[in-house]
């Protein structure tokens, strides 16, 4: 059996039916762009440990980042292991691949001064469309979660917002459309208590817009992700703030939360992480200032 035959069957029969559409498309992209051109014509039995290692090294030589190489190899390994498990072929050697070391992505957030500039600008503009930026700054919502929010998700009586869905842009019929989906992971479904100040603004916005979505847009389905990201980029340029992606708002929320003394378990639940250890690893750098302050308090005993 040629590997391309099995890889395509695996994607259609197993990945497509068991993952989100977005995940399937990512797997399909890796297969079409990297795996099939290099290994598709091989007989599965010819995919020896050496051939697989050559493929892994060739990805690095194409100047792909270690994280990107690891993702491609993960797709390759998953397909081969499923084939062996189903008895499609006898052996596979993907466990012998030596992959490049993963690099932890750098966490970037806004300084307190930059955050204040962003906040002042949004409040001065008095545009409901922009308030989602402030909401992310004070809740840690991902952009997909933010733009999927409807007013039904906001409980003004209890002062909370329920995150039960997400959205993403997808290329359909030569244009991007907004696709609604479940949250990133099961742990991403959560209820977030909102600061009173944010709730007061939300009440005013609901009265002003009368729209279904918290962040309304030109269509009945609210703002689209790419459009909202571009709006955020324009705001940063106007304020002479160094460019950072929208996700930096989430990182900024987490950093500020730790700075004011929020415990890691509470923060983990608000962010929708599956385990507090994930939060601790990701934002350990944010605790440095807090650790220094605590140590200085101990040091005062010396006086």
- Domain identity same for 86 and 221: no
CATH number at residue 36: 1.10.150.130
Write out the DSSP string of 14-25.
Answer: IIHHHS-HHHHH
- Domain identity same for 55 and 190: no
By the 10 Å C-beta count (0-12 exposed, 13-18 middle, 19+ buried), 137 is classed as buried
- Domain identity same for 177 and 246: yes
pLDDT by residue for the chain (303 residues), tens only, comes to 999 999 999 999 999 999 888 889 899 999 999 999 999 999 999 999 999 999 999 998 888 888 889 999 999 999 999 999 999 999 999 999 998 776 666 788 999 999 999 999 999 998 999 999 999 999 999 999 999 999 999 999 999 999 999 998 877 777 777 888 888 888 899 999 999 999 999 999 999 888 899 998 777 888 899 999 999 999 999 999 999 999 999 999 999 998 888 999 999 999 999 899 988 888 877 777 677 877 888 888 886
Q: What is the pTM of this model?
A: 0.77
Phi, psi of 154 (to 5 degrees): -100, 120
Phi, psi of 179 (to 5 degrees): -110, 130
- Domain identity same for 7 and 51: yes
- Domain identity same for 41 and 135: no
Domain end residue (candidates: 96, 128, 151) = 96
Total tally of structural domains belonging to the chain: 2
Residue 191 lies in a domain: yes
Cross-sheet strand order for the sheet of 190-193: 154-155, 160-163, 190-193
Q: What would the 3-class secondary structure string for 84-105 be? A: HHCCCCCCCCHHHCCCCCCCCC
Residue 90 lies in a domain: yes
- Domain identity same for 123 and 268: yes
CATH number at residue 121: 1.10.443.10
**Dist. CA 171–CA 136, nearest whole Å:** 25
Six token digits for residue 17: 């039916």
Cβ-proximal residues to 187 (8 Å cutoff; 6+ apart), any chain: 272, 273, 274
**Dist. CA 164–CA 212, nearest whole Å:** 16
The answer to whether 82 touches 14, Cβ cutoff 8 Å, is yes
- Domain identity same for 35 and 167: no
Q: Which domain holds residue 244?
A: 112-292
**Dist. CA 14–CA 19, nearest whole Å:** 9
- Domain identity same for 126 and 45: no
- Domain identity same for 172 and 262: yes
- Domain identity same for 193 and 283: yes
Total residues found in the chain within this entry: 303
Count of alpha carbons within 13 Å of 201, Cβ hemisphere only?
A: 21
**Dist. CA 258–CA 229, nearest whole Å:** 26
**Dist. CA 9–CA 12, nearest whole Å:** 5
- Domain identity same for 124 and 190: yes
Cβ-proximal residues to 267 (8 Å cutoff; 6+ apart), any chain: 254, 257, 258, 279, 283
Domain end residue (candidates: 34, 65, 96) = 96
């Amino acid at each position: 059996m040629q590997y391309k035959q099995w890889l395509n069957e695996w994607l259609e029969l197993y990945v497509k039916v068991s993952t989100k559409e977005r995940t399937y498309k990512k797997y399909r992209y890796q297969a079409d762009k990297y795996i099939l051109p290099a290994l598709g014509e091989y007989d599965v039995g010819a995919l020896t440990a050496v051939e697989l290692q050559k493929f892994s090294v060739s990805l690095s030589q194409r100047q792909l980042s270690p994280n990107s190489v690891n993702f491609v190899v993960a797709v390759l390994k998953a397909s081969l292991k499923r084939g062996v498990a189903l008895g499609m072929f006898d052996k596979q050697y993907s466990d012998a691949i030596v992959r490049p070391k993963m690099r932890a992505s750098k966490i970037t957030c806004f300084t307190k001064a930059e955050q204040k500039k962003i906040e002042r600008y949004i409040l001065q503009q008095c545009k409901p469309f922009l308030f989602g930026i402030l909401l992310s700054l004070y809740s840690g919502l991902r952009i997909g979660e933010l733009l999927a929010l409807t007013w039904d998700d906001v409980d003004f009586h209890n002062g909370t917002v329920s995150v039960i869905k997400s959205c993403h842009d997808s290329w359909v019929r030569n244009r991007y459309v907004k696709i609604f989906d479940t949250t990133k992971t099961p742990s991403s479904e959560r209820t977030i208590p909102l600061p009173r100040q944010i709730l007061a603004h939300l009440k005013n916005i609901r009265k002003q817009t009368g729209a279904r979505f918290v962040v309304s847009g030109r269509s009945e389905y609210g703002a689209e992700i790419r459009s909202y990201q571009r709006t955020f980029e324009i705001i940063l340029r106007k304020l002479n703030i160094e460019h950072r992606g929208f996700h930096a708002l989430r990182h900024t929320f987490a950093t500020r939360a730790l700075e004011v003394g929020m415990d890691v378990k509470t923060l983990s639940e608000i962010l929708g992480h599956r385990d507090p250890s994930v939060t601790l690893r990701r934002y350990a750098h944010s605790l440095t200032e807090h650790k220094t302050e605590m140590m200085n308090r101990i040091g005062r005993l010396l006086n």
